[in-house]
Structure 1
Amino acid sequence: MAVSATLPAEEDPEISAERAYLATARTALQRMHHDVVTTETQLTAAAEDNDNYTERYYQRRARELRALALVDLPDVPLFFGRLDFDADQAEVGTQRLYIGRRHVHDGAGDPLVIDWRAPVSTAFYRATRDDRHGVRLRRRYGFSGAADLTAYEDEPLAGPGADGAAEAASSFLAAEIERPRSGPMRDIVATIQPEQDDLVRAPLEQTVCVQGAPGTGKTAVGLHRVAYLLYTERDRLGRTGVAVVGPNRSFLSYIRRVLPALGEVDVTQTTVEELIGRAGADRPEDPAVARLKGDGRMAAVLRRALWLHVTKPAEGLMYAKGTYRHRVADHEVSEIVAALRGSMRYGPGRTAAAKRLAHAVLVQMERRGESPDDRTHNAVARSQPVRRLLDQVWPKLVPEQVLFRLLSDAAFLAKAAKKDLTPDEQELLLWGKPARSWRSARWAAADSALLDELGDLIERTPSIGHIVLDEAQDLSPMQCRAIGRRGATGSLTVLGDIAQGTSPAATGDWPELLRHLGKPDARLETLARGYRVPAQIIDYAARLLPVIAPGLGAPTSARRSPGALRVTPAAAEDLPDAVVAACRECLEREGSVGVIAADAAVRTVHERLAAEGLAPALLGDSENALEEGRLVCVPATLAKGLEFDTVVLVEPARIVAAEPRGLHRLYVVLTRAVSALHVLHAEPLPDPLRTA
């Protein structure tokens, strides 16, 4: 049976010893940080004689990142577990290891804390009595306040006391999972479960797709996998880069502290729109149009639209040099263009056409007895006659030119669409009142992926070493293609839940989504057992699944929480008072409180709570809203990926009515609570929930 601290922390000699060890480790970490900073100062002075600016910059940047990674965060425990090994485990090198968020060594280089990502640390997450990995005892620590060590729990895996150890240890893990929190998300490195650890430690070359029910920790798995890959493949990823892609800025604000807490401070965190970076979203658009623009068929339409700009020449090429005239006949120009058309990207194809035309001219020069060299060849390729001819048959283009013509010219759209789009779909795509030119056009959000597709057809998109793509179920096929291009030579961690797909063009199927990402052979795993959301809430939300995701199995939860679910009807005139009363009650308990309502109503709720003196923050008004207090008002469309200890959900029917996939949105907001969910409504609940 597991053994926990039984004396008060101040009187327990074991806790005193562990606290002393923690203090020693913190002192060592501070020394390591000081050594890096001191070395940087010395190397910076010595590097002044180095004329290679780029080399100096990257050396300095590497030292700066190393120093940041060694900063001791006072509110983050330096270690969270300990492994005691069998005496005969010589390969371990010691019989006791402390497992923490980063490696710490003493002045002689001996380890005081082992990084959780090191191979030997795997045993902390995977050792069982049947497969001990040489471990005889696993210890977990409890902390309070500013990382103050207050408790421990031992789990014997061998010898007396091993029976029932796992069951006893689970209560300690549950206490850590249920610990109230406020502000941004924190890491789960102390509570990673074996099935999660298997995904975290998947090799870099493997693209992993995780279908995760609410509360299963899929976002945490993705972030911890980034930290693990940077530990094991730092040189490779240092050259090619890592990006974490989330659904919106509020979500990125929520997760931004996780990687720094794990010692990783140089990871790009961005949204899909920012990663693509092609167009604004200032043009309102009908969801049906957005859905069509996100359809994978648009890729073929865009490709044709681009290459339709390459035409047959009306005349040949005439190049003059001195008194000589060198002519390339129109049929020969046609052959050159036809041979290159569609065989490579549009931009390089134009360059190759110029070089082949120049080569045809040089052949004629040689026939006249001249001896042209590479300089002559380059001069002819860049000459005005060649450029003028190419402007006619292979014009320079930017993506906006092509898309503007496609959406404003019915005849051109019909020619590019062929049989891929029906006449009704073509009519849906066409702008009613197009701008005068592509330079003044206003673009919609869905146009961004289309412009990116065209951009890649013109010039190759640079690739990233590894991309974590969260809430991927909301991506359209065209957005998937845009992200897939950026991971073409790397790998991805794809995270999401089909049941939470709320965008008009959501794919709705993982194999199809992975195909559009260019990773059809990705490893697809399901996390169905939740650790964060109580069973009462999961079961309540799961009533929607037969309607929104009929083929998806119902999730389960590892825990129940007394009083986790309350559903309270109220008269319409009494609902605002009921919301205020519910928030006051929630604030009497520890932890964060999220008040979620339909976007159109959330500001009114916020104003009422503020008038009552509850000082709520409003998500969306500020990136730091989650840190401005315990009470946060959340528009339903920004709730995805967030968690609160308690959620007050106001008027579910209005959330459903606000958008075509409103039931999917309701499933999302119903599953944001870690401890308790209080549903308040005046209007009738959606049918699947009425029997609650």
Structure 2
Amino acid sequence: MGRGDVSLNDKLAETELVEREIEAEQAFVDRVYLQLEESARNARQLAREGENRGKLEHEGGLVERDAMVYQAAKRIAQLDAAHEGLVFGRLDLQRSVDRKPRYIGRIGLRDSRRDSLLIDWRAPAAAVFYQATAADPRRVVRRRVLRSSGPRVTGVEDELLDAEALAELEADGVELPIVGEGALMAQLSRARDRQMHSIVATIQAEQDLAIRAPGRGVVSITGGPGTGKTVVALHRAAYLLYTDRRRYESGGVLVVGPSGVFMRYIERVLPSLGETAVALRSLGEVVDGIRATRHDEPAVADIKGSARMATMLRRAARLQAPGSPEQFRVFWRDDVLVLDRGILGRIRRQLMSQGRRNRQLPRVTGILLDALWSQVAGERGLDRGREAFDDDMLGNDDFLDFVVAWWPPLDARTVLQWLRDPELLAQVADGLFSAEEQRLLLKSWGAADPSVEDVPLIDELRYALGDVPLRTEDERDLDETSLLEGGVDVQELFTAADREFAPSGRGWAPPTHRLEDDPFAHVLVDEGQDLTPMQWRMVGRRGKTASWTIVGDPAQSSWPEPEEAAEARAVALEGKELHEFHLSTNYRNSAEIYQYAAAYAQRVGLDADLPTAVRSTGVQPEEITGAGDLEAATRRAVLDVASRVSGTVGVVVPVARRSEVNAWLASWPELAEDAAGARAAIDSSVAPSGEDRVVVLTGLDTKGLEFDGIVVVEPEEIEAESVTGRSTLYVVLTRATQLLATVS
């Protein structure tokens, strides 16, 4: 028999072995899915029982109904989310530990006898699946990862962790074959689509330590590009919900990311892990009721993000409303009563010294009445008395209109609009911002919609102004919202305020979300190195009593004043214990691509964290330079990359060229169908459709994303766009998993 025949026989034997192992695992997975369906039926039955309890004609039945239906709905949602890749891991242990294998899955399941069938990946018993290594096997002989498509097992990948223990098992007649080339490498080689996926089957030991870190304080996860910081942080959120569900579900988990593009990219990770009690918000959506997607130009963004802006906005919140009356005059009985600028100024200072502006609304009328009554000197007026005076004034439309106009209920957007007036802006910006900086601010505020950089400013003003006190009959608020100091009813005043502001379209309405409702139980911040001081102040308000997870890499920062941002971050996290974790392995880029990016970082002087790339493709990045026709060169590069990868392709361009490059690619028929026949639509906003393979982005848009192929158009222009352009270009060069090309 020739050598070729031996090789062929070996391959056939290996194929048969893999098929046998898949068939054996499929039998177990089928059993798990049957139990999953049984659990789903039980949950639906619980929901029906809950509905029936609600038909009982007493309050207890309604309470039981709500509790049962709520719990059943949660369980059904969890079971539905677990269908894809339900069983992904198996542990075979030393014979002295356990004769039966342990299976790891997205959720925990018990069989009909209440014995453990599947261990939740977050449970302590599953930790060894991620933490065992060949150097420290922790009594694990073989670790197996199951690859699946729906309920069908499509492959297995094994790691032998303890050869001596395997020999002992084989001596006892236990067969544990080792098949596959490694689950991690198989995962890293797959094509990317338009969404991030969980790594629950391939979490590595250093990642697992961060995921299972203490639930209190601040967990900081740092590392260079491609180290899995984002997905580790999301798995940590799922882990926290598992370990202390009551706390984190009742308080809420807030995940903050750099952009809507990024949030759409990660939105399926937590639901795929069975968790839905999480608020995903980009920096333009952190404040309730606002959704901003537009960015200011870098020079303006730097001004709006500065800590100086907080001082300016506090000054603005204390301004007298533009156009408000400067005096009030009324004749009552024998006296002319006047509130002049001096008296009103004194009252205004008194009110502002007592707390936030809007919180003083119930006191305004009483203080003004006091000031007017102190001027009553005539005998007829004094004989009538204070009660009659108050009744007459509160029935006087001129007085009520004056109160509302002089101290109106204010919202943050209204005050921000005041600053479109150059004189008002100069007044509050004096000593803080130069004339040129004020000019840039005025120009930016000419747009109708707020920018992402405006959102923290609106939040700052919202807190500086305070909430308008709610009109409620609730006893705890009675002394603040229903009575003036001195016991005068102010219902008529609020009615006047409604009459004055609600129909006029000036933007005031009692807010539905109160300031004290903002804090979450856990706050997760991704791309933390990019947050401006004002954004740290905004996010910090949501996490005053929260635990935190913060992900970042200083070398990728787009904020030019890191010391200023670090100070704001320290204030946001004041008093919280810090737990630091560093990830050192790049799982995203091929070694060739990351070496190219790392060489750039070192060449331009970035203090970059350089992780080790674990995978090589043998394909070097391509530089297309000196192209006389940039449009034709870009088209050729995009088509070449799209034809060589089966997943997504990012075309990264300078901000000024975005529309131009979109037009080049959208009008090119050859891009309508790539080499594999798949649709390769061009979409400038990274639409969530999974069909779109080629997408045009700016450098900042690529934060946190990854693509099979990247084409960078005019990298020098991206570098020159802002003072942090070198960091931005470094980020761009680290987004590709397979192919990278630059065109200039």
Q: Which TM-score bucket, shorter chain as reference?
A: 0.7 to 0.9
Selected match of 2:50 from 34, 43, 56: 43
State the secondary structure of the residue aligned to 2:54.
helix
Q: How many residues align?
A: 656
Contact 2:709/2:739 (<8 A) preserved: yes
Distance of aligned partners of 1:42 and 1:183 in 2 relative to their CA distance in 1, 3 Å threshold: same
How far does the alpha carbon of each residue in 1:166-220 deviate from its partner, in whole angstroms, 9 at most, with x for none?
x999944223332334342211112212222222123333222333321010110
Distance of aligned partners of 1:209 and 1:352 in 2 relative to their CA distance in 1, 3 Å threshold: farther
Deviation at 1:479, TM superposition (A): 2.1
Corresponding residue for 1:512?
Answer: 567
2: CA distance between counterparts of 1:297 and 1:481?
12
Selected match of 2:88 from 69, 79, 88: 79
Corresponding residue for 1:690?
Answer: none
Selected match of 1:64 from 62, 66, 73: 73
Corresponding residue for 1:604?
Answer: 664
Corresponding residue for 2:680?
Answer: 616
User: How does 1:37-436 map onto structure 2 within 5 Å?
Assistant: 37-49=44-56, 60-71=69-80, 75-82=84-91, 84=93, 87=96, 96-128=101-133, 133=138, 135-143=139-147, 145-146=149-150, 148-157=153-162, 159-160=164-165, 171-276=182-287, 286-309=297-320, 338=349, 340-351=351-362, 391=404, 394-410=407-423, 412-431=424-443
State the secondary structure of the residue aligned to 1:268.
strand
2: CA distance between counterparts of 1:560 and 1:508?
37
Distance of aligned partners of 1:607 and 1:109 in 2 relative to their CA distance in 1, 3 Å threshold: farther
How far does the alpha carbon of each residue in 1:101-121 deviate from its partner, in whole angstroms, 9 at most, with x for none?
111221222211111111222
Corresponding residue for 1:647?
Answer: 710
RMSD of Structure 2 on Structure 1 (CA): 4.7
Corresponding residue for 2:601?
Answer: 545
1: CA distance between counterparts of 2:335 and 2:68?
56
Deviation at 1:282, TM superposition (A): 9.4
Contact 1:279/1:444 (<8 A) preserved: no
Contact 2:146/2:155 (<8 A) preserved: yes
State the secondary structure of the residue aligned to 2:550.
strand
Deviation at 1:659, TM superposition (A): 5.3
Higher-Rg structure is 2
2: CA distance between counterparts of 1:181 and 1:9?
30
Deviation at 1:454, TM superposition (A): 0.4
Is it true that 1:498 corresponds to 2:554 in the alignment?
yes
State the secondary structure of the residue aligned to 2:32.
helix
Distance of aligned partners of 1:160 and 1:278 in 2 relative to their CA distance in 1, 3 Å threshold: closer
Contact 1:5/1:12 (<8 A) preserved: no
Deviation at 1:30, TM superposition (A): 1.6
2: CA distance between counterparts of 1:451 and 1:443?
9
Report the AA paired with residue 641 of structure 1. G
Selected match of 2:588 from 503, 527, 532: 532
How far does the alpha carbon of each residue in 1:549-591 deviate from its partner, in whole angstroms, 9 at most, with x for none?
6333333323333225333447434873675476456535554
How far does the alpha carbon of each residue in 1:257-314 deviate from its partner, in whole angstroms, 9 at most, with x for none?
2112211133222222122256676998553233212211110111122123399998
Distance of aligned partners of 1:589 and 1:378 in 2 relative to their CA distance in 1, 3 Å threshold: farther
Corresponding residue for 2:40?
Answer: 33
Deviation at 1:139, TM superposition (A): 1.3
Distance of aligned partners of 1:335 and 1:212 in 2 relative to their CA distance in 1, 3 Å threshold: same
1: CA distance between counterparts of 2:650 and 2:197?
17
User: How does 1:631-646 map onto structure 2 within 5 Å?
Assistant: 631-646=694-709
Deviation at 1:346, TM superposition (A): 2.2
Corresponding residue for 2:691?
Answer: 628
How far does the alpha carbon of each residue in 1:22-57 deviate from its partner, in whole angstroms, 9 at most, with x for none?
111111112111211222123123324477789866
Contact 1:296/1:478 (<8 A) preserved: yes
State the secondary structure of the residue aligned to 1:70.
helix
Farther off after superposition, 234-243 or 335-344:
335-344
Report the AA paired with residue 623 of structure 1. A
State the secondary structure of the residue aligned to 1:81.
strand
Distance of aligned partners of 1:352 and 1:55 in 2 relative to their CA distance in 1, 3 Å threshold: farther
How far does the alpha carbon of each residue in 1:83-141 deviate from its partner, in whole angstroms, 9 at most, with x for none?
5266368xxxx8642111111221222211111111222222223466555x3324122
How far does the alpha carbon of each residue in 1:196-253 deviate from its partner, in whole angstroms, 9 at most, with x for none?
2222123333222333321010110121111111111211222222232222333222
Farther off after superposition, 469-478 or 378-387:
378-387
Contact 1:340/1:349 (<8 A) preserved: yes
Structure 2: where are the runs of 5+ without partners? 1-10, 169-177, 375-381, 467-514
Corresponding residue for 2:734?
Answer: 671
Is it true that 1:471 corresponds to 2:527 in the alignment?
yes
State the secondary structure of the residue aligned to 1:539.
helix
Contact 2:87/2:103 (<8 A) preserved: no
2: CA distance between counterparts of 1:458 and 1:54?
39
State the secondary structure of the residue aligned to 2:156.
strand
1: CA distance between counterparts of 2:276 and 2:318?
43
2: CA distance between counterparts of 1:11 and 1:131?
27
2: CA distance between counterparts of 1:55 and 1:456?
39
State the secondary structure of the residue aligned to 2:47.
helix
State the secondary structure of the residue aligned to 1:192.
coil
Corresponding residue for 1:688?
Answer: none
State the secondary structure of the residue aligned to 2:112.
coil
Report the AA paired with residue 680 of structure 2. P
2: CA distance between counterparts of 1:346 and 1:318?
26
How far does the alpha carbon of each residue in 1:407-442 deviate from its partner, in whole angstroms, 9 at most, with x for none?
3142x334423433345434443459x88xxxx965
Deviation at 1:452, TM superposition (A): 1.6
Deviation at 1:66, TM superposition (A): 2.1
Deviation at 1:541, TM superposition (A): 1.0
Distance of aligned partners of 1:604 and 1:60 in 2 relative to their CA distance in 1, 3 Å threshold: farther
Report the AA paired with residue 100 of structure 1. G
